[in-house]
Amino acid sequence: MSDRPSTLGALRASGWVSRPVKEEVRTNAIERIKAGEALFPNVLGYEETVMPQLENALLAGHDVIFLGERGQAKTRMIRSLTGLLDEWMPIVAGSEINDDPYNPVSRHARDLVAEMGDDAPIDWVHRDSRFGEKLATPDTSIADLIGEVDPIKVAEGRYLSDELTLHYGLVPRTNRGIFAINELPDLAERIQVGLLNVLEERDVQVRGYKVRLPLDVLLFASANPEDYTNRGRIITPLKDRFGAQIRTHYPLDVETEVIIARQEARPLEAPGITVEIPQFMAEIIAELSQLARRSPHINQRSGVSVRLTVSNLETLVANAARRTLIQGETDVVPRVSDLDALASSTAGKLEIETIEDGRDEQIVHQLMLAAVLSIFREYIAVENLRDVVEAFEGDRIVQAGEDVSATEYVALLAELPGIAGPVAELTGGNNSPAMVASAVEFILEGLHLSKRLNKDAVGARAQYRGRG
């Protein structure tokens, strides 16, 4: 900070140029786009849909409202916008509303510049401090957003008409920055009216004060579709003042959902164990979410968040780790038998339409089976496993489940003709017993769901046998 100007005169001499926040964001966005860099590298799946619309809005200098169900990275994108601000910005020292040294608007800053001139002190604010956010709730007040009289300042002897008695709200305190309102429909309609001036006239007024604060704010908001929320609505004049309304969406394919889940899931790290998630197991988790978003039994207005995929992946790994530790092994590789553990991480994130007792668990279980079968068909052609199916003719029974060790599954490679080739393709050359065990279970379950093998499940143990 020592190399930055510390007075107004030094700031002028440095050649620093003041510019509106929307122009600042536009300029930095242009540089990113010209360089071929993603505006939000950690937000995936929007490259061809949401991002072009958002880039257009930023280049046009529009305030934006994101419309979409829960878990669609709306808040993440808004918070990431600070990366498009200049790293440091000068303000009049002591200003509560980030006053522009060249054009101060608060009483404090105007008086300081008028009194000290070029000797007026300057502070520098990092871009991370130029972001303000409010989760809209029914009890949010105008005082929270715009401001209110500070009784302590009045008690100190100032007159009520004195502008210095004001306590600024969140919006003025984010002057020359980005302000976000999450779940905008939850904001009472009379409070939404208070934002109209911010979006159109770019100023705020506090109660009966004859004070006008011309603010420089880039406003973002998020909301669920109006046909979902019963808690409120966005008033038409306010919607009209947003320059862009951008519809977000869930990942459009399993591959994207897997990448997001692997990126967001908290890794399970512990001394003495290694964790590896087979691609086909990760895809089963993602396919479960994809199927839930198309299921008539799931409330689609509520949405099926990507958080479901992330939580399920973490739970899958956790159950695999617990099983591995109990068996005294060190390689943690999730198997199909670990999928039963997902009941706890799935139940709270799906809103089932039916109200029949016990039906919830059945619907989730059916979605899980459908996900396993779908991914099995993506990887393996059943007709190529004819030798495996024929090996079950007679009285052959194969035990599976949490208490079956990885070495027991490895032994099946010699006992079941034709299974070694598909296992090798699934493991990608990783011949660790834990990885082989996961592949074998996947094949056996896939054959069962394809109606080639019978399965008897008792507790955590399952038996696969022929259909004859």
Look-up: residue for tokens 């004819």? Answer: 386
385: nearest Cα among 376, 396, 397, 394:
376
Question: Is a pLDDT exceeding 50 seen at residue 336?
Answer: yes
Cα 180 to Cα 184: distance, rounded to the nearest angstrom = 9
CB atoms within 10 A of CB 186: 19
pLDDT average, residue stretch 166-188: 89
Query: 461 with 455: CB under 8 angstroms?
Result: no
CA-CA distance, 468 to 158, in Å (whole number)? Answer: 93
pLDDT tens digits for range 393-451 = 878 888 888 888 999 999 988 888 889 999 999 998 788 999 999 999 999 999 999 99
Summarize pLDDT for 109-145 with one digit per residue, the tens.
999 999 999 999 999 999 999 999 999 888 888 888 8
**Secondary structure letter of residue 4 according to DSSP:** S
Is it the case that residue 161 has pLDDT exceeding 60?
A: no
Give which of 465, 332, 322 is closest to 400, Cα–Cα: 465
DSSP letter (8 states) at residue 393: S
Q: What is the pLDDT of residue 23?
A: 96
Q: In this predicted model, what pLDDT tens digit does every residue of 277-290 receive, in sequence order?
A: 999 999 999 999 99
Percentage of the residues of the chain whose pLDDT score is greater than 70: 91
Tell me whether strands 166-168 and 177-182 are parallel, antiparallel or unpaired. unpaired
Domains defined along the chain, listed by start: 8-247 (3.40.50.300), 254-465 (no CATH)
What strands lie across the sheet with 131-135, from one edge to the other?
A: 131-135, 177-182, 217-223, 64-67, 244-247
What is the pairing mode between strands 177-182 and 217-223?
parallel
* Predicted TM-score (pTM) of this structure: 0.84
Task: Please tell me the distance from the alpha carbon of residue 51 to that of residue 106, in angstroms, as a whole number.
Answer: 36
DSSP sequence for 288-355:
HHHHHTT-TTB-TTT---HHHHHHHHHHHHHHHHHHHHHTT--EE---GGGGGGGHHHHHTT--BS--
The 3 state secondary structure assigned to 413-463 is HHHCCCCHHHHHHHHCCCCCHHHHHHHHHHHHHHHHHCCCCEEEEECCEEE
